[in-house]
Amino acid sequence: MTFSFKGLSAFPITPMHQDAPDESRFATLISRLVEAKVDSIGALGSTGSYAFLTRSEREKIARLAVKHAGATPVLVSIGAINLRDTLLLAEDAQKAGVKALLLPPMSYFPLRDDEVFTLYETVNSHVSVPVVVYDTPGTTQFHFSDSLMQRICQLKHVRSIKLPSGSPTAEEASARIKRLLPALPEDVSPGISGDPTAGNALMHGARIWFSEWGGLFPRLARQLTDAALAGQKDEVARINAIFAPFWEMSARYGGSLRVIASAAEIMGLAGAHALPRPLKGVSAQDAEQLASLIKTHQPS
């Protein structure tokens, strides 16, 4: 199946066990996504700890994701600080059967515009599957100008952009999405990444939601996606309200990964210390709140 840049793309964590990926628990997470009928699976996104893993670990996890995803298409991030490594990762991923590649302008020294264009241009000329431009200033410190984004979107294999919803503020991000969308080529699918505003973005032109919490609560994210794409404002508000305390805690921890890993542990879907070191899960007090939220709403 080719990669469909629409609907719900769910991003599971890669649970760790003793400093290595926990392959059996990862496989279970993938199977849950397939059962929830997500449109695609974003393995090895930021939420999947791609930046913490070695090339061989990333290859193994990509193969595992493809195997357990069955007919559901898989994308992986090929982000690396060195462009040489990104090209190797792209080769590994394509050989593993991945249907699309997610490319952030990952860096050690924040990159400059011409360096970022060269990054996408070089990858574009080396790959045969679609590429998603991953705009994630919170981790890359890089801010795409509208004109650079439009130039990159002219590249043959670039088929989607994954925009942050809260950078620098939710209002500015929303204004940017409204400004960018009409200027994108027809074959480039606008996508939204920040969970809290995804419903709203899907009602206003975004075609795909790259969802972090959707990797753990795929049924709930599926409902939100369907309601938003059908323009059911009240239903979107109802589901947003269930997600809200999880999103609020994510914001307090500077991102979703730490909170999702703690929730996965509570749900028995990850072991203790499932985060790559030195990342830590939530405090005991917040873990209690998480457990109580999960008990109340039974999200799945």
Q: Return residues touching a second copy (CB under 8 A).
A: 19, 46, 51-54, 81-85, 106, 108-112, 114-116, 118-119, 122, 138-139, 141, 253-255, 257, 276-280
| Chain mean position to CA 28 | 18
CB nearer a second copy, residue 232 or residue 289: 289
Q: How far is the CB of 19 from a second copy (least distance, A)?
A: 4
The nearest distance, CB 97 to a second copy, in angstroms, is 25
| CB-nearer residue toward a second copy: 63 or 273 | 273
For residue 86, the minimal CB distance to a second copy (Å) is 9
For a second copy, the closer of residues 238 and 280 by Cβ is 280
Do residues 124 and 92 touch, judged by C-beta distance below 8 A? Answer: no
CB nearer to a second copy: give 85 or 235: 85
Nearer to a second copy among residue 137 and residue 205 (C-beta): 137
Least distance between a second copy and beta carbon 294 (Å): 23
Copy the structure tokens of residue 175: 């204004």
Q: Which is nearer to a second copy, 115 or 235 (CB)?
A: 115
136 vs 174 by CB, closer to a second copy: 136
Q: Report the 3 state secondary structure along 137-157.
A: HHHHCCCCCHHHHHHHCCCCC
Q: Of the two residues 107 and 211, which places its CB atom closer to a second copy in the complex?
A: 107
Distance CA(132)–CA(238), nearest Å, equals 30
- The two three-digit tokens of residue 57, written as one number: 């670990």
φ, ψ of residue 133 to 5 degrees: the values are: -80, 120
Residue 168: cis peptide before it, omega within 30 degrees of 0: yes
Distance between CA 142 and CA 111 in Å, rounded?
7
Minimum separation from the CB atom of position 228 to a second copy (A): 27
CB of 199 to a second copy, least distance (A): 24
Supply the minimum distance, in Å, between the C-beta of residue 85 and a second copy: 8
Specify which residues 78 forms β-bridges with.
none
Dihedral sign (CA 233, 238, 239, 242): positive
Distance of closest approach, residue 131 Cβ to a second copy, in angstroms: 15
Burial of 255 (0-12, 13-18, 19+ CB in 10 A): middle
Quote the CA–CA distance of 240 and 222 in Å, as a whole number.
Answer: 12
CA distance linking residue 113 with residue 142, whole number of Å: 9
List the beta strands (DSSP E) in the chain: 7-10, 16-17, 20-21, 40-43, 74-77, 100-103, 131-134, 158-163, 189-192, 208-211
